[in-house]
Amino acid sequence: MKGGLRSSRAVKLSRDGDLDAMLWSRAMKESPGRRADRRVVRSRVRLHAVLVELILERGWERVTVQDVCERADVGRSTFYAHYADKEDLLIGGLDLVRDGLLAALRKAPDRPAFAFLHGLVEHVNESRRLFRAIIGRRSGLAVQRRFREVVLELMEEELGHRGVPARPLPTVARYLAGALVELLIWAVDARTPRDAASLEAEFVRFSLPVLQIAAKP
């Protein structure tokens, strides 16, 4: 089995409050290194950060693409070179999270089990206001759907790293990813933020036996 199972606390992916910027920074380091690639990443980082700021200030319905462009100091042509509309930009933020977490995981082959969990829980806790601001809207449903897909992709990476055979991997990945998504949604809906360390510990505690069984030849 690759990467022995360890239930110790997952690797901390951020030391400051700006998790999204840190994750995109990691993703940028994983790019081929061309200046054009880095400019694309920087543009997307800026646009996403501005959209979040505006949603929290005004609410989803009162934010337009023009508002985002003016605050980010970019032209509309630059915006549409990357995104179809503001919903596409909002959903794209989750791809930033995924790319950053995957980049960190692949650089840590001896990582503990579910090492992506800490960064994911941090992101969810820091995005509580944003998630609440879009719940009930069409964009909110699209974000939830993409969030589930991102968690599934992270789980599939984890199970593959642990040597789970190809046949049970899709089933086990959906089983664990579904449980994790429900746990995180519960945390977002809570009146007060749940302690990140407790959430991580509870998920790892109940999921390790599943991972151990699935990884058996």
Would you call 148 helix, strand, or coil by DSSP?
helix
pLDDT at 144: 86
DSSP 116: T
Structural domains counted in the chain? 1
Between 133 and 106, where is the model more confident?
A: 106
Examine residue 2 and state whether it is found in any structural domain, yes or no: no
Examine residue 112 and state whether it is found in any structural domain, yes or no: yes
Averaged confidence pLDDT in the chain: 82
Examine residue 73 and state whether it is found in any structural domain, yes or no: yes
pLDDT at 217: 75
Structure tokens at 8: 């110790």
Count of CA atoms in the C-beta half-sphere (13 A) of 5 = 18
pLDDT at 136: 62
Task: Give the residue carrying structure tokens 């110790």.
Answer: 8
Mean pLDDT value of segment 200-206: 95
Structure tokens at 191: 């009146």
CB 172 within 8 A of CB 214: yes
pLDDT at 43: 85
pLDDT at 13: 32
Range of the domain at 177: 19-214
> Looking at beta carbons, which pairs linking 71-77 to residues 24 or more positions away fall under 8 Å?
72/46, 72/47, 74/43, 74/46, 74/47
- CB burial of 16-34 (b: ≥16 within 10 Å; e: otherwise) equals eeebbbbbbebbbebeeee
CB 116 within 8 A of CB 10: yes
Q: How far apart are CA 81 and CA 215, in angstroms?
A: 43
pLDDT at 18: 47
CB 33 within 8 A of CB 194: no
Structure tokens at 184: 């995180």
CB 97 within 8 A of CB 127: no
Q: Please check the confidence at residue 17 and state whether its pLDDT lies above 70.
A: no
Closest CA to 72 of 198, 174, 82, 101: 82
Global pTM? 0.79
Examine residue 65 and state whether it is found in any structural domain, yes or no: yes
Examine residue 132 and state whether it is found in any structural domain, yes or no: yes
Examine residue 3 and state whether it is found in any structural domain, yes or no: no
User: Which H or E element spans position 71?
Assistant: helix 65-72
Examine residue 85 and state whether it is found in any structural domain, yes or no: yes
pLDDT at 135: 66
Q: How far apart are CA 194 and CA 125, in angstroms?
A: 8
Examine residue 84 and state whether it is found in any structural domain, yes or no: yes
Between 30 and 143, where is the model more confident?
A: 143
Mean pLDDT value of segment 135-158: 86
Q: How far apart are CA 171 and CA 93, in angstroms?
A: 27
pLDDT (tens digit per residue) in 81-98? 999 999 999 999 888 889
pLDDT at 207: 97
CATH of the domain at 35: 1.10.357.10
Mean pLDDT value of segment 9-23: 39
Between 130 and 178, where is the model more confident?
A: 178
Between 44 and 68, where is the model more confident?
A: 68
pLDDT at 159: 96
